[in-house]
């Protein structure tokens, strides 16, 4: 607040900079995020990956699936930065083209899983009772499966392709979101202003979307970021197992699988897609951790 701000009711100072709490909170949050160097690096990495995914494919000179048997299994050189694979395709080009796939799987699956999970969590926490028990027990069942196993099971039902990987990873991230949102909803539901709005005769939908949802947003954002990392890892894992993106698409997990047979002699074929996965996962993880610290009201000074 501006210093020298008079507190008397009548003397409303004219030149006070009015900011919506949302704007103020965002500035505050950015300020704290800036102090966390690791998170900032994560954030820049994510921006970098997005740039690579969007404009990268237009800048590469080789075709993604340009097979060239005269130069297969070549080591990294100025010609082929990351070398070529067993069919003579340029690995660097393929990784650039694969970035989009990876990010798309991460964002889309978390978006879908997040929306469904949030709705289930809010309904569960707001209404409580039997609805709560049924939803949360079902979430417990989903949680009881190891993540990759659940995704495998879903893929084997739906069949292996790119869209189904997104769906599988989305389903597997639902319970995490539902739990987090339910917890925050339980806390928010008890606030007096929710009672006040209820006493005014507001419909449940208004209370849920206008008064409860904004309060569960910050844990939700943190969880989404961290969940994107998990989603990328799971999707790559599925592709590696041959259940996700099908060849010849340049998905990183699938490329890793291609390189597996040549690992001992031509390690770089597997190394570079592997590094790319590590980089993406790391970026989202450290950015998510930084977000959590920055959004945590307890860490406020």
Partner 1 sequence: MAQKELLKVKNLKQYFPIKGGFFGRTVNHVKAVDDVSFEIKEGETLSLVGESGCGKSTTGRAILRLDDPTEGTIEFNGEDLLALNKKEMRNRRKDIQVIFQDPYASLNPRQSVYQILAEAMEIQNVVPKQKRRERAIELLETVGLNGDQVDRYPHEFSGGQRQRIGIARALAVEPKLIICDEAVSALDVSVQAQVLNLLKKLQREFNLTFLFIAHDLGVVRHISDRIIVMYLGKVVEIADKKTLFENPQHPYTKALLSAIPTPDPEVKKERIVLEGDVPSPINPPSGCRFHTRCPFATEVCAEKVPELKNHGFMEEGHRAACHHVDEIASGELGPKY
Q: Kindly tell me which of 26 and 81 has the beta carbon lying closer to partner 1.
A: 26
Among 10, 59, 70, 265, binds partner 1 (CB under 8 A): 10
Q: Kindly tell me which of 45 and 221 has the beta carbon lying closer to partner 1.
A: 221
Is 298 a binding residue for partner 1 by CB under 8 A? The answer is no
Among 197, 221, 241, 275, binds partner 1 (CB under 8 A): 197
Smallest separation, CB 215 to partner 1 (Å): 8
Q: Which stretch binds partner 1 (CB under 8 A): 10-18, 71-79, 137-145, 161-169?
A: 10-18
| 293: number of Cβ within 10 Å | 17
Q: Which stretch binds partner 1 (CB under 8 A): 14-22, 41-49, 78-86, 179-187?
A: 14-22
Is 297 a binding residue for partner 1 by CB under 8 A? The answer is no
Among 3, 4, 12, 157, binds partner 1 (CB under 8 A): 12
Is 22 a binding residue for partner 1 by CB under 8 A? The answer is yes
Q: Kindly tell me which of 81 and 193 has the beta carbon lying closer to partner 1.
A: 193
Q: Kindly tell me which of 34 and 203 has the beta carbon lying closer to partner 1.
A: 203
Evaluate the CA torsion angle 228, 229, 230, 231 in order and state its sign. Answer: positive
* Cα gap 233→240, rounded to integer Å: 10
Is 195 a binding residue for partner 1 by CB under 8 A? The answer is yes
Residues in region 134-193 near partner 1 by CB under 8 A: 191-193
Tell me the two tokens of residue 47: 């921006």
Contacts of residue 106, defined as CB under 8 A and 6 or more positions apart, other chains included, come to 228, 229, 231, 232, 235, 280, 284
Please check whether residue 113 is in contact with residue 173, taking contact to mean a CB–CB distance below 8 angstroms.
yes
Q: How many residues does the chain have?
A: 301
Q: Kindly tell me which of 140 and 195 has the beta carbon lying closer to partner 1.
A: 195
Tell me the two tokens of residue 218: 């910050």
Alpha-carbon separation of residue 77 from 72, 80, 196, 274 (angstroms): 13, 5, 69, 19
Q: Kindly tell me which of 92 and 138 has the beta carbon lying closer to partner 1.
A: 138
Q: What angle do CA 283, 27, 108 make, to 5 degrees?
A: 40
Of 181, 273, 281, 264, give the one whose Cα is nearest residue 229: 281
Residues lying near partner 1 in the complex (CB under 8 A): 7, 9-10, 12, 18, 20-22, 191-193, 195-203, 206, 210-211, 214
């Amino acid at each position: 607040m501006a210093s020298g701000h008079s507190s008397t009711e009548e003397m409303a100072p004219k030149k006070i900079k009015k900011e919506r709490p949302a704007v103020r909170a965002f500035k505050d949050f950015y300020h704290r995020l800036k102090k966390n160097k690791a998170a900032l690096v994560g954030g820049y990495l994510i921006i970098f990956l997005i740039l690579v995914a969007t404009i990268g494919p237009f800048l590469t000179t080789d075709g993604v699936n340009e097979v060239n048997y005269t130069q297969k299994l070549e080591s990294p050189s100025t010609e082929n930065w990351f070398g070529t694979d067993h069919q003579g395709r340029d690995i660097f080009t393929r990784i650039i083209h694969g970035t989009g796939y990876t990010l798309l799987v991460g964002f889309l699956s978390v978006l879908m899983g997040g929306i469904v999970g949030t709705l289930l969590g809010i309904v569960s926490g707001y209404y409580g009772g039997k609805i709560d028990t049924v939803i949360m027990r079902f979430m417990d069942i989903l949680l009881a499966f190891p993540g990759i196993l659940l995704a495998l099971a879903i893929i084997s039902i739906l069949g292996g392709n790119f869209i189904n990987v997104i769906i599988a990873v989305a389903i597997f991230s639902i319970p995490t979101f539902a739990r987090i949102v339910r917890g925050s909803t339980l806390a928010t539901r008890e606030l007096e202003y929710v009672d006040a709005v209820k006493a005014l005769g507001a419909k449940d939908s208004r209370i849920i979307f206008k008064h409860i949802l904004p309060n569960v947003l910050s844990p939700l954002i943190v969880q989404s970021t961290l969940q994107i990392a998990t989603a990328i890892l799971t999707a790559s894992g599925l592709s590696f197992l041959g259940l996700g993106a099908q060849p010849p698409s340049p998905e990183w997990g699938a490329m890793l699988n291609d390189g597996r047979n040549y690992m001992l002699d031509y390690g770089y074929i597997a190394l570079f897609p592997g590094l790319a996965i590590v980089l993406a996962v790391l970026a989202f993880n450290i950015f998510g951790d930084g977000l959590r610290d920055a959004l945590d009201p307890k860490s406020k000074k």
